[in-house]
Structure 1
């Protein structure tokens, strides 16, 4: 068993749900989170009235699932990130579960 974690901006919620369905991961959880990004080299004088945001409404998705389903969703995430020209790609990690209680 593995723990899959995916983060995305909130705008991609429907697309991420489709990726879970395509990978046949039928049980997962979500949580609203606030993502933050520091912009390198910001000069306060140049950025005083900037419309750039440094925080983003985001989602965290997580699921306990099998390795074969993780491979499927990772391939889909890579394809999704390649197709999108956004500066906010989907990010995913997998953690091994050493011990658990059902």
Structure 2
């Protein structure tokens, strides 16, 4: 089992949902969040708690899924970012789930 986690600007939520659907992932969770971007920070910890100047409405979407679906989702996000270059690409992470109650 893998944890597929995606972060993006809130305006891309429909595209991310479509990516999950194309990857065969029909069960997922989403939460709103605020992203910060400050190019002047010398260290990640300097802006870890949101001391950045720019704020962006963002979303985190995640699913616990099979490895094959997670890898497909990863590739679909990479494809999307290649087709839509910009300053705020969709970020995707595939993390191993070592154990679960399910």
Match of 2:4? 4
Match of 2:86? 86
Secondary structure of the residue aligned to 1:12 is helix
Specify every segment of 5 or more residues in structure 2 that has no aligned partner in the other structure, as ranges.
42-52
The alignment's TM-score, normalised by the length of structure 2, stands at 0.84
Equivalences for 1:51-70 in 2 at 5 Å? 54-70=54-70
Secondary structure of the residue aligned to 1:19 is helix
Contact 1:2 1:97 in 2 (8 A): yes
Q: Report deviation, 1:85.
A: 2.5
The alignment's TM-score, normalised by the length of structure 1, stands at 0.84
Q: Deviations over 1:45-81 (max 9, x none)?
A: xxxxxxxx60100000010001101111111111100
Contact 2:81 2:90 in 1 (8 A): yes
Match of 2:101? 101
Q: How many residues align?
A: 91
Q: 1:32, 1:95 → 2: CA distance? A: 21
Q: Report deviation, 1:38.
A: 0.5
Specify every segment of 5 or more residues in structure 1 that has no aligned partner in the other structure, as ranges.
42-52
